[in-house]
Structure 1
Amino acid sequence: MSSITSTSYAVTARIAERLAESLGQRKFAMWFDQSAHFNYEPNDRRLTVNVPNRFVADWIGRNFEQDLHNAASSEIGADFELNVCVDPECFNRAAAAPQSSSNEPAPAHHNTAANFAPAPIGSRMTTSPPHQAPAPQHLTNQPPTPNLPHTPQATAHNTVVMPRPTSAAPSFSRKLRHSLDTFVVGPSNELAYSAASRVAEDDATIAGTPLFIHGGCGLGKTHLLQGIVNKYRSRNPQAKVHYCTGEQFTNEYITAVRTNKLDQFRRRMRQMDLLAVDDIHFIANKSSTQQEFLHCFDHIELSGSNVVLASDSHPKLIKQFTEALVSRCVRGMVVQIHEPDEETRIRIVRALADRRQMIIQPSAARELAMRADGSVREIEGLLTKLHAFASLGGSRSGGLLDPVGHALINRLFEAEEKTGQRRKPIRFNDIVDTVSVELEIEQAKILGTSRNKHIVLARSIAIYLARNLTSMSYPEIATAMGRKTHSTVITATQRMQRQIDENAPILLPTEASAVTPKELVDRIKRTLKRAPIA
């Protein structure tokens, strides 16, 4: 009996602590600190909350039912009975008991949650020993009436039986912004979208297989991660799902260490059915956090649950990432999101315009997509400004804005270019430098005569861009390349144009996956155009 009693004390103390963390100091102190005694009977799997009067019982039933279920289910599982009992005598006994001295152990009915675990919010909830709990009369385990699924059920004058929730609340309850339904799919991201959809649909064939999505800023990694979480949660309401950034994971871990709650942190993280961490590269230079995340990763993966990560870089290219963590990441599916091509950008423009209830002419949408050749985030920013310009022009009947045409697009970009400064003109050396950095090939090799296929590709791209982005003639480019005649320059330009037209994927040593010539050239163009202003 004593072992059961000690177990009950430990369980109720942890439940009290979790409840205090969930509700916050003010609500917890007002409704539970001095107004509730917990009692857990392991044999019957019954958790009883004793309260001093009916008002408190009704209030807890109406406002904190789900919080109580969440706190209790995290400690004792989902299959249990929760009762709220009105027992004034329990509180009269506690008030009449003499205060124990600092050298003596406190009486059983004065044990507090703070005595079991050092909660920083200062919880002092008392827990009643099992033999002192009032015996609820006519307890029932029947579900509530169908038309009142969340109403506490009174079975006796002093007992309220709380209905079992239809589903356990997810670990991360806040609705995230993005969904997979609003993600615009194109050649640059279709593989990542397909992988994300399989995880969100809880495909059994990939259970326990991590997904790592990487790509540049503003290309849709966060959209995919949040879309996975939202869809997974909608399909599996009982699942424990958590979405956070690498920074938030680090902060939660540090807080758990500082407040002596590392066990609770580990228990919560390692019980996840789906853990999604955005910007995982944030933990790259934090060895302790990486070690903790590695253990969480292993535990979740071994249980057959899913881990989804996103980063700006491939796992092997993240500096100061431990070898063990890189190994775990590449063991699963690693997919890259590239910058969208022109057709995908047009569809993105239309989708974002529809969300803002803007009517944009097809030719204007194409022009905007051609001129806004950066990230999706950049396109979204331009459309926000475009919406503001359109709003200044008035609206049609029904509140719809006038259709957006070329005049408004030109006005938008004129405003963007009025910075008072001029951009530095693109020079041949700038092109060679950028190609060298992007393809990780030395400049001397690009300007040399090597016939290695990757060096030839880099050389052809440099010549093609010099011809298209500068005013240099073929002979001038040949001179800059150190060639005696310009026939090779013409040949290189024509060859590059053919490759762009055919657009067959190329596998480069610097790329984790195949990339098309058009994507490669467009990416280098954007880098050059974003050069600092003079």
Structure 2
Amino acid sequence: MSKSATSVWDNCLTFVKDNISDQAYKTWFQPINAVKLNDNALSIQVPSKFFYEWLEEHYVDLLKVALTKEIGKGAKLVYVIRMENAKGNRQPFTEKIPSTQRSNVNSQSIDFPSRQKNPELRNPFVIPGIRNLKIDSQLNSNYTFDNFLEGTSNRLARSASLAVANKPGGTSFNPLLIFGGVGLGKTHLAHAIGLQVKDKFPDKTVLYISADKFTQQHIDAVSKNNRNDFIHFYQIVDVLIVDDIQLISGKKGTQDVFFHIFNHLHQNGKQVILTSDKAPVDMQDIQQRLLSRFKWGLSAELAQPDFETRIKIIKNKLYNDGVEMADEILDYVASRITANIRELEGAIISLIAHSTFSKKEITIDLAEQIVKNYVKNNKKPISLDDIQNVVSDYFHIEIEELQSKSRKRNVVQARQIAMYFAKEITKTSLTSIGRHIGQRDHSTVLHSCKIVSNLQESDKQYRKFIQDLEIKFKQL
């Protein structure tokens, strides 16, 4: 009784499944379809050139044993690649012949090729022609959990990151989205997760990439008609870390492809870690279907470090560099640089360098000079408390009344204006603004900001309120 291509391939799959992991089977063999059986040659359809090269490199021996058991000696395998062009139109089936088998130009079959030793490709993003996929995780070994100091401002984000690192894909924190302002440690935590995963689970594939670089790779893949290869590459990653995900805002093509990659990873128990300078609810020009997925797991905010945390950061830096500093100088620097850990560490580095090169002690005078001359933002940033104080004073109401549930017209007006300036001046999320100004939700803050913006254009007196307050904030 003659065998069909489907039955031969099904028997081969049964053998393959018994010899590899379930995840590898789902990723590399389930998408394959049998096309035809011609004598001792079985044709199978693979989704892309990337699939073909991966099978050839990693599973050719297993396939040879399986096919020989079914067909006998002299078994041959034909890879049929279904290509997709940049416009999404399907091209006719083409049969792929590896360069090692092209001595007979008219041949359409692929004998099982012998393995060739090629140099490892450290760059994971050169999609065409990948032979031995050795992914460089792109992680910075300096960013570890050990040197990320915990404080009240980052405790949730750090604890969640540790949980994910110890059990990637196995917690409810998937995706884990870490958000907060510039220089608060988002990238540090993202790298720390990746490094710990690689240490605890050496077999897992970890990849860190910035959203900008991801976007550029997608553009290049589309221009070279390698979009499928691009998608398949990212679908094999076990832990995908994307930094500054908000930068895909307005980029529809990139959002579409990331949506499919995200779905595949999430459905297969892979871990996704994202960082952003804002919470999902505050992101603009990103598809709702993506935003809803960003909210599936945990969104953990990194707030500005409190005074105690800033002191701990300075002391840790000094300890690592073997430098001592008087408490009054520690207090001075920590009280002046409040919003950005990066600037805080930069000031300490400058302070140590000046002391070392000039062979002088670190004094309060030197600290004042450094804070003044070397910190980009040495002026204390305006806080939510500052904004509420200024607005309450301007409208002659108490802060308690501003934060109350009062619906008096003058109180509502002051509250809306305070929310407006909080959004304009600070990098605080809408959720945090609402929580600080009367326990409101983010939608109330957004509504208030729209009202203030509209009234500025139509109401002359209202516009004067805003102008007067802008001057007061500049004077802080």
> For the superposition of Structure 1 and Structure 2, which TM-score range results when normalised by the shorter chain?
0.5 to 0.7
Q: Find the aligned partners of 1:40 and 1:432 in 2 and give their Cα distance.
A: 62
Partner SS, residue 295 of structure 2: helix
Q: 1:38 and 1:337, CA in 2 relative to 1: closer, same or farther beyond 3 A?
A: closer
Code of the aligned partner of 1:509? R
Q: 1:435 aligns with which of 367, 379, 387?
A: 387
Q: Find the aligned partners of 1:186 and 1:458 in 2 and give their Cα distance.
A: 36
How do 1:429-508 and structure 2 match up within 5 A?
A: 435=387, 453=404, 508=439
Q: 1:450 and 1:275, CA in 2 relative to 1: closer, same or farther beyond 3 A?
A: same
Aligned residue number for residue 475 of structure 1: none
How do 1:414-433 and structure 2 match up within 5 A?
A: 415-416=373-374
Aligned residue number for residue 157 of structure 1: none
Q: 1:275 aligns with which of 240, 247, 250?
A: 240
Contact 1:200 1:229 (8 Å CA) reproduced = yes
Aligned residue number for residue 253 of structure 1: 218
Q: Deviations over 1:391-416 (max 9, x none)?
A: 2233xxxxxxx763434313323545
Q: Find the aligned partners of 1:333 and 1:9 in 2 and give their Cα distance.
A: 39
Q: 1:411 aligns with which of 362, 369, 391?
A: 369
Aligned residue number for residue 291 of structure 2: 326
Q: Find the aligned partners of 1:264 and 1:313 in 2 and give their Cα distance.
A: 31
Larger Rg: 1
Q: Deviations over 1:489-517 (max 9, x none)?
A: xxxxxxxxxxxxxxx998733569xxxxx
Q: Find the aligned partners of 2:475 and 2:390 in 1 and give their Cα distance.
A: 21
Q: 1:411 and 1:303, CA in 2 relative to 1: closer, same or farther beyond 3 A?
A: same
Aligned residue number for residue 176 of structure 2: 211
Q: 1:360 aligns with which of 325, 329, 338?
A: 325
Aligned residue number for residue 130 of structure 1: 111
Contact 2:144 2:188 (8 Å CA) reproduced = yes
Contact 1:447 1:459 (8 Å CA) reproduced = no
Q: Find the aligned partners of 1:418 and 1:250 in 2 and give their Cα distance.
A: 30
Q: 1:300 and 1:416, CA in 2 relative to 1: closer, same or farther beyond 3 A?
A: closer
Q: Find the aligned partners of 2:166 and 2:301 in 1 and give their Cα distance.
A: 20
Q: 1:39 and 1:184, CA in 2 relative to 1: closer, same or farther beyond 3 A?
A: closer
Deviation at 1:238, TM superposition (A): 1.0
Q: Find the aligned partners of 2:58 and 2:135 in 1 and give their Cα distance.
A: 24
Q: Find the aligned partners of 2:235 and 2:376 in 1 and give their Cα distance.
A: 53
Aligned residue number for residue 266 of structure 1: 231
Q: 1:338 and 1:529, CA in 2 relative to 1: closer, same or farther beyond 3 A?
A: farther
Aligned residue number for residue 23 of structure 1: none
1:351 aligns with 2:319: no
Deviation at 1:436, TM superposition (A): 6.6
Partner SS, residue 282 of structure 1: helix
Partner SS, residue 182 of structure 2: coil
Q: Find the aligned partners of 1:260 and 1:438 in 2 and give their Cα distance.
A: 57
Partner SS, residue 331 of structure 1: coil
Q: Which moved more, 1:209-218 or 1:384-393?
A: 384-393
Q: Which moved more, 1:3-12 or 1:230-239?
A: 3-12
1:199 aligns with 2:195: no
Q: 1:437 and 1:253, CA in 2 relative to 1: closer, same or farther beyond 3 A?
A: farther
Code of the aligned partner of 1:277? V
Q: 1:3 and 1:198, CA in 2 relative to 1: closer, same or farther beyond 3 A?
A: farther
Deviation at 1:205, TM superposition (A): 5.0
Deviation at 1:374, TM superposition (A): 2.5
Deviation at 1:356, TM superposition (A): 3.5
Q: Find the aligned partners of 1:38 and 1:331 in 2 and give their Cα distance.
A: 34
Q: Find the aligned partners of 1:267 and 1:380 in 2 and give their Cα distance.
A: 40
**TM-score, with length taken from structure 1:** 0.53
Q: Deviations over 1:11-56 (max 9, x none)?
A: 996489689xxxxxxxxxxxxxxxxx9994522389xxxxxxxxxx
Q: Find the aligned partners of 1:338 and 1:129 in 2 and give their Cα distance.
A: 58
Deviation at 1:270, TM superposition (A): 1.7
Q: 1:304 and 1:352, CA in 2 relative to 1: closer, same or farther beyond 3 A?
A: same
Deviation at 1:255, TM superposition (A): 1.2
Q: Find the aligned partners of 2:274 and 2:390 in 1 and give their Cα distance.
A: 24
Q: 1:185 aligns with which of 131, 137, 150?
A: 150
Q: 1:289 and 1:364, CA in 2 relative to 1: closer, same or farther beyond 3 A?
A: same
Partner SS, residue 185 of structure 1: coil
How do 1:60-459 and structure 2 match up within 5 A?
A: 94=103, 106-108=105-107, 129-130=110-111, 169-170=134-135, 172=137, 175-202=140-167, 205-206=170-171, 209-394=174-359, 404-413=362-371, 415-416=373-374, 435=387, 453=404
Contact 2:174 2:297 (8 Å CA) reproduced = yes
**TM-score, with length taken from structure 2:** 0.59
Code of the aligned partner of 2:111? P
Q: 1:339 and 1:3, CA in 2 relative to 1: closer, same or farther beyond 3 A?
A: farther
Q: Deviations over 1:249-301 (max 9, x none)?
A: 11111111111111111111122211111111001111221121112111111
Q: Find the aligned partners of 2:41 and 2:258 in 1 and give their Cα distance.
A: 35
Partner SS, residue 371 of structure 2: helix
Q: 1:43 aligns with which of 32, 56, 64?
A: 64
Deviation at 1:203, TM superposition (A): 5.8
Code of the aligned partner of 2:439? L
Q: Find the aligned partners of 1:251 and 1:276 in 2 and give their Cα distance.
A: 16
Q: Find the aligned partners of 2:236 and 2:114 in 1 and give their Cα distance.
A: 34
Q: Deviations over 1:325-379 (max 9, x none)?
A: 1211112111111100111001111222333343323332222111222200111
Q: Find the aligned partners of 1:14 and 1:368 in 2 and give their Cα distance.
A: 54
Alignment length, in residue pairs? Answer: 345
Contact 2:211 2:247 (8 Å CA) reproduced = yes
Q: Find the aligned partners of 2:296 and 2:45 in 1 and give their Cα distance.
A: 43
Deviation at 1:237, TM superposition (A): 1.0
**Structure 2: any 5+ residue segments left out of the alignment?**
1-36, 68-98, 116-131, 419-434, 444-469
Code of the aligned partner of 2:145? L
Aligned residue number for residue 73 of structure 2: none
Q: Find the aligned partners of 1:38 and 1:431 in 2 and give their Cα distance.
A: 56
